[in-house]
Structure 1
Amino acid sequence: MYSRVFIFVLCIQMCLFYKIREKKRVCVIGAGIAGLSSARYLKEEGIDFVVFEATKYIGGTWRYDPRVGTDENGLPLHTSMYKHLHTNLPKPTMELRGFPLPDGIPSFPSWKIYYDYLKDYAKHFDIEKYIQFRHNVTLVRREQNVWKVTHEHVITGEVFEENYDYVIVGNGHFSTPNMPNIRGEKLFKGTIIHSHDYRVPDVYKDRRVLVVGAGPSGMDIGLDVAECSKSLLHSHHSKVNFRTPFPPHYVRKPDVKEFNETGVIFVDGTYEEIDDVIYCTGFQYDYPFLDKTCGLDIDPHSVVPLYKYMVNIRQPSMVILGLVVRACLVVALDAQARYATALIKGNFTLPSEAEMMDEWQRRADAIRSKGLRMSHIHTLAEKEDEYYAELSEQSGIERVPPVMFKIRAMDIEAKLENLYTYRHYVYKVIDDNTFVRTLEKEQINDTLVI
């Protein structure tokens, strides 16, 4: 008969064995906002994780680099920052949970201020020691019920492969340009770049510039270049009613039909001579390290199928953060990182694959029924606050206050009113549902209690 001591020791050993087996290991890809947020929450919950970052910096696209093309290690430059960029959303919607932006900074801070904020965030939460810098993830595959992650040291060329229970993909999707294919482009003798490579307006001084695209970067870069260009032609088909009083040398044009050596013909038959073109035509979804075993269908305009806009339905131990559009992206990233951490910790259980697929299919069918492209599968827009409520209800994470969506809605109206002045407004949160908007110079208050 076994002694009590022997049985006690055996029980301890078995407990330790199962504890080791149950210990979850997480791979986080990228040290931008998504990666830093994930690292913070995983650390707070005592979950074993590592962050792989291909560069020697944190901050992802928020770090300005005057270079274009590739970095010192031959890797494509990830950042799309330009010298005069300021956030296009106000301070409250750019703050990461529990870590406010400093007092006294502009309501729409510059990239430099915001990048410093991210560095302070990493320092405050002691995140950097969990980041393996200069490690570029080259392959993620599913094999024998684990994630096999291959990464390469960009200096030494040494290749590593490790096993993980969960993968959080947080490397963003603002670095692979979506380039249009316009007839005759190769004939054009001027310069053509994508907004990803736009840095300063000075090179366009006294030149005839064509900007293509009317998304946030198209409008912002267009006005930035117009400050010094001889003329600014803006080609787009947006139905948004911008009421901005544009300068006389800013001319709205329809879509480009074709190029010739010295200019472009537009679809309305008009012709304009130009010197330079800046394509502000967005970015493609590009995750070359995810192989077919991941179970995702990835094309330049969508990543599917995803539950709650982020969970890989076919392999739910993989979460892709930050794919939502038309939302307070920083707020959304923070909420998604908290949801992913709660999932990994086991605070809640996902529905079955069939149930998750059914929910996703309903969204996809609704998009197709409206004649929209599948890229709209990532759009939140007016459903943003509802989305935050769903994440909290399911996972138990603290709810994103409704006031964030309300601020974004008013900010959209301010942009429609005047793209030159919308950054003059200061937004101050009063409580979860209320904010005060102040016109910086005139101190006019609009208090919203909803």
Structure 2
Amino acid sequence: MGSIAATTPFPRAIKRVAVIGAGIGGLISAKSLKDEGYFDKIRVFDRNPYSGGTWIYSPNYGIKTPVPNIKPQHGPPQDPSKVPASAIYSNLHTNLPIDVMCLRNRPFIEATPEFPGHESVLDYIRRFEKDENLMDLVQYNTNVTEAEYKDNEWLITYFNIATGETSVDAFDALIVANGHYYDPFIPDIDGLKRYKEMEQQRDNGIKIIHSREYREPQEFNGKNILVVGNSASANDVAREALTTAKKVYQSVRASSLPPLDPNSVSQVAKIPEIKEFLHDGQSSSIKLQDGNCLTDIDCIVFATGYLFSLPFLTRSEGEKLITDGQRVHNLYRHLFYINNPTLAFIGLPIRIVPFPISQSQSKVIARCWSGKTKFPTRQEMEDWHNMQPRPERPRDDFVFGAEKEFQYMDRLNMWAEGHHPDDDVNNWSSSDPETGEISSRYKDRRTKALDLRRAALGY
């Protein structure tokens, strides 16, 4: 087991910590902070009436998405009492088996299916909160409207949805665990804005939504549907739509288009990317990159992902971290804000297993802020950041996949156990149930997750 080495003190004393979000990222952060026995004040803020974050299902979406939507939110909401529902749809099942998805030292209850629905995941999160006695640390029905760093402390302004009151409280550090599945991205394709405006003026005009607004396939009964995107949610929406829709098209990038297969049994018509939306005020069409046009669409579902969004940060700070919403800038190891490491983030990388990664990240944050493990100098953080490759697409270095995820988790766990984050991870070994090395069985199950899901669920 790795030992706690001599520490490098954090630049300033951290005794009061605020956490935004009571999904698994916020709750595991609260537990890791609590476990240190060092912090005087830990408070988690969440705008929902109970914990669960993304995994709280609601049959009603509530807030409509602008079309197009290419810029992240900046500044407090116009009405902080309104809380958008999560992106969970009724028939959603996990992409990961429960032995991979769970926190490392806390399995799902025995009766849980291998690939459960959203109800089981929400139950897991709420059981965790109760069993770890975290409920007293969470302030529910509370919408954080502003987080400002001033005079060496974080001033958190929050709105109590139940009472309508606004309050301000001070903290030494802030963990952002608000997730990144709530600010939908809808690309600004030529003609889309006018197309949307024209269709809104028509009786029974073409409906345009983001996949976040989708709930049940009955919404598509007897209609021709166009799904835009090729992510897991896009494929789920297209597959479910087949059960009720008249026709389902799915627009994907040319590199993702499958070769023509006369033996294919899929009824989803895979088509190229959209080039332009056309509307003359009476009739409409959708021109594709191959020159063909669609003229029979009743509903368009953009399953085109989400923007990173930090609307509660002051504009001056938020714009340094968020520009176009495709990534969060100026972070050390996707975790600490280099300009001010009293600000940390949980769960930002994409295509990861969020529960165990959040567990590793929260251990690092708690132990760095408590002084139990080493913290790099400002120069070391900047050097690491400057050495990172600059991908052609700004989001690509946030997209992990299994192998990059394993390397990242091992380094975090080594760091949490007292080593410097730049140490040679190959010289580290540990069997700690929370911060030890990742097992070969876990790696195998994680790598084969989609094949296991297909075998279990048929898709």
> Is TM-score (shorter-chain normalized) higher than 0.5?
yes
CA-CA distance at 1:395 after TM superposition: 2.2
CA-CA distance at 1:402 after TM superposition: 4.1
CA distance in 1, matches of 2:124, 2:328: 30
Q: What is the aligned partner in structure 2 of residue 287 from structure 1? A: 310
Residue 400 to residue 319, structure 1, CA distance change in 2 (3 Å): farther
Q: Is the 8 A contact 2:228 2:251 kept in 1?
A: yes
* Counterpart amino acid of residue 154 in structure 1: I
Unaligned runs of 5+ in 2: 1-11, 65-78, 200-204, 418-433
CA distance in 2, matches of 1:148, 1:257: 46
CA distance in 1, matches of 2:170, 2:51: 24
- Report whether the alignment pairs 1:375 with 2:395: yes
Alignment equivalent of 1:182, drawn from 177, 181, 189: 189
* Counterpart amino acid of residue 237 in structure 2: I
Q: What is the aligned partner in structure 2 of residue 31 from structure 1? A: 22
Q: Secondary structure at the match of 2:448?
A: helix
CA distance in 2, matches of 1:73, 1:155: 11
* Counterpart amino acid of residue 272 in structure 2: P
* Counterpart amino acid of residue 60 in structure 2: R
Q: How does 1:334-373 map to 2 (within 5 A)?
A: 334-363=359-388, 366-368=389-391, 372-373=392-393
Q: Secondary structure at the match of 2:113?
A: coil
CA distance in 2, matches of 1:118, 1:270: 47
Alignment equivalent of 1:205, drawn from 218, 221, 244: 221
Alignment equivalent of 2:243, drawn from 201, 217, 227: 227
Q: How does 1:257-276 map to 2 (within 5 A)?
A: 257-260=275-278, 261-272=283-294, 273-276=296-299
- Report whether the alignment pairs 1:239 with 2:255: yes
Q: Is the 8 A contact 2:33 2:366 kept in 1?
A: yes
CA-CA distance at 1:110 after TM superposition: 0.2
Alignment equivalent of 2:351, drawn from 304, 326, 349: 326
Q: Is the 8 A contact 1:73 1:155 kept in 2?
A: no
Q: Is the 8 A contact 1:296 1:314 kept in 2?
A: no
Aligned residue pairs, count: 395
Q: Secondary structure at the match of 1:340?
A: helix
Superimposed CA distance per residue, residues 156-190 of structure 1 (whole angstroms, 9 cap, x where no aligned partner): 23221121111110011100000122233324431
Q: What is the aligned partner in structure 2 of residue 150 from structure 1? A: 157
Q: Is the 8 A contact 2:14 2:369 kept in 1?
A: no
Q: Is the 8 A contact 2:252 2:271 kept in 1?
A: yes
CA-CA distance at 1:23 after TM superposition: 6.6
CA-CA distance at 1:135 after TM superposition: 1.4
CA distance in 1, matches of 2:159, 2:246: 47
Unaligned runs of 5+ in 1: 1-20, 426-450
The structure with the greater share of residues assigned to strand is: 1
Residue 223 to residue 312, structure 1, CA distance change in 2 (3 Å): same
Q: Is the 8 A contact 2:47 2:143 kept in 1?
A: yes
Q: Secondary structure at the match of 1:100?
A: coil
Residue 268 to residue 76, structure 1, CA distance change in 2 (3 Å): farther
Q: Which has the larger radius of gyration?
A: 1
- Report whether the alignment pairs 1:278 with 2:301: yes
Q: Secondary structure at the match of 2:255?
A: coil
Q: Is the 8 A contact 1:411 1:422 kept in 2?
A: no
CA distance in 2, matches of 1:358, 1:294: 23
Superimposed CA distance per residue, residues 25-67 of structure 1 (whole angstroms, 9 cap, x where no aligned partner): 1001110111111112222222330011112121001010011
Q: Is the 8 A contact 2:257 2:271 kept in 1?
A: no
CA-CA distance at 1:407 after TM superposition: 2.0
CA distance in 2, matches of 1:357, 1:126: 38
Higher relative contact order (CA 8 A, sep 6+): 2
* Counterpart amino acid of residue 172 in structure 1: G
* Counterpart amino acid of residue 99 in structure 2: P
Alignment equivalent of 2:272, drawn from 254, 258, 275: 254
Q: Is the 8 A contact 2:95 2:115 kept in 1?
A: yes
Superimposed CA distance per residue, residues 86-123 of structure 1 (whole angstroms, 9 cap, x where no aligned partner): 00111112112322101232111000111111111111
Superimposed CA distance per residue, residues 188-216 of structure 1 (whole angstroms, 9 cap, x where no aligned partner): 43101001111101111221100000011
CA-CA distance at 1:22 after TM superposition: 5.7
Residue 219 to residue 23, structure 1, CA distance change in 2 (3 Å): closer
Residue 242 to residue 131, structure 1, CA distance change in 2 (3 Å): farther
CA distance in 1, matches of 2:115, 2:163: 40
CA distance in 2, matches of 1:208, 1:162: 51
Alignment equivalent of 1:398, drawn from 404, 428, 435: 435
Q: Secondary structure at the match of 2:249?
A: strand
- Report whether the alignment pairs 1:124 with 2:131: yes
Superimposed CA distance per residue, residues 338-388 of structure 1 (whole angstroms, 9 cap, x where no aligned partner): 21111122112321112111111211xx234xxx21212312223111111
